[in-house]
Structure 1
């Protein structure tokens, strides 16, 4: 099953709050255990690329959905599927993996909005041309940021993340990248949200270009699209994303 599943089963039958966290968590395992890349990784990787391409063009509330899930992780977890909560209990590291993956996806959408997007994979685009607007880009997810109120919700979340996350945390480069893009997207809203902050120095530091070191950095866009590793995920998702024979 291929693009028909992405455009049909995933988007019309399965709940976003289930398959989104599941795919992101599975993707992050590739970063932690690169030596265990298998065929299943490639299936998850291709599936996530397809989901991102499709939702970017067909879900005008994608940016909000991702933010809502991320805020839920840090509070009551009401928006998380029961299976995802169970994953957290069995594998506490999955919570951090999901946070990183959601931040990366949000950062990617912001990149499209401010004109700093990375090129989409041409092979995957060609495979899905019957379901995607590949001529005009067809992106609608980034249009959510046209509203100052929506921009403000992202700015508030990102600033809060910067002030509560250690600079040594694996996810820290992502809110820094998002803050830089948000300032480009709407300088007035960004300034209004940060003008009374007691931590101006930390915010200004986050807005500075990253320092290049020998240490492999965390990708500023979505590093979770490539080969993936999942130790325990339902076969229903796996079958949905498999290539047709």
Structure 2
């Protein structure tokens, strides 16, 4: 039996993907320049973690011996065309990857609209509706995935930044980043796409929702009653999903955590 199509890296918000002849290191929601965004959006002053983010990614690249980096959307934070410190952070990351001969593929997210204009020919940018590489679908998740991505046996996405709030016996609580995994239901796509859904090649995909790589970006608390999901097809398309911590701890059905 071959390697699993998606294998989480123990202790990290990342996974390896088997994409034909390549092994990819996949992450979601890098959010370069988030500190600038927080300054303008919320008046929060934080020192930049740009160097630490890059070191963490490069250490994972060394650990997994991957041939490519795949970012499942939101490589940058501000929705406008990246410039200044934000663009510098991306440039430093691309330079570090280039020095290792490792290309970067980006599943276009809702924050990535202007990045291709700033870094032409340096990023392999996928369309907003995602795509399929070998038998793995790649999409950010802020829009409905396209037919090609949905035809894969495994669909990987970001966007949600899934997190769980855990409470201990004495009433203390903490928030942890989490994975969501489970069968992708076809019904929401039939309802949204109408007759066009009849033409979909459907292989009963497993949906894998990645935790955010950036630890300052907040997230969707998947086990808090009344919390809204961000993706237009969630939670309806993942009724039977399970949650896992990044250390591999299985929490069980995410609705019951």
Normalising by structure 1, what TM-score?
0.31
> Greater helix share, 1 or 2?
1
Higher RCO (Cα < 8 Å, 6 or more apart):
1
